[in-house]
């Protein structure tokens, strides 16, 4: 089962890299910068959810490493999560559209980095 899910994630990553506008190397670099600036404090530089600001958050910051590896998580879902955050479901995940005015392009760069770094 785990093997199957992992295969699915690779398939999703493959489709991501072949199918659309996210498929540019320079985006990954920009995405890394943005991830370290905006996401690592909670989700950790390694994506394991143990960033210095994670503290006693409930629910805790998601383990993105696991999420990217183990689930079929879509670009659309990631984009939505980054831009809208957990406001509607009352979690500590910020809306980066509201909080930092993150553009769609910046969100795309972050998504690109997530696929690249947490596989």
Q: How far is the CB of 82 from ligand HEC (least distance, A)?
A: 5
CA neighbor of 45 nearest in space, from 54, 32, 36, 55: 36
Q: What is the DSSP string of 23-89?
A: --HHHHHHHHHHHHHHTHHHH-TTSSS--TT-TT-SSPPP-HHHHHHHS---HHHHHHHHHHTTGGG
Residue 38: CB minimum distance to ligand HEC, A? 4
From the CB of 118, what's the least distance to ligand HEC, in Å?
Answer: 10
Shortest reach from residue 32's CB to ligand HEC, in Å: 12
Q: For ligand HEC, which is the closer residue by CB, 17 or 54?
A: 54
Pick the closer one to ligand HEC by CB: 27 or 110: 110
Phi/psi for 57 (5° steps) reads: -55, 140
Chain residues that interact with ligand HEC, rule: CB under 6 A: 38-39, 41-43, 53, 57, 59-62, 64, 67, 78, 81-82, 86, 91-94, 96, 110
């Amino acid at each position: 089962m785990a093997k199957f899910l992992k295969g699915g994630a690779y398939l999703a990553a493959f489709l991501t890299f072949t199918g659309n506008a996210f498929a540019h190397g320079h985006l990954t670099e920009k995405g890394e910068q943005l991830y370290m600036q905006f996401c690592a404090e909670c989700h950790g530089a390694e994506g394991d959810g143990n960033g210095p600001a994670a503290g006693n958050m409930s629910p805790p910051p998601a383990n993105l490493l696991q999420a990217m590896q183990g689930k079929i998580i879509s670009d659309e879902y990631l984009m939505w999560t980054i831009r809208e955050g957990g406001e509607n479901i009352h979690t500590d995940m910020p809306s980066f559209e509201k909080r930092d005015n993150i553009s769609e392009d910046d969100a795309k760069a972050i998504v690109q980095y997530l696929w690249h770094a947490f596989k």
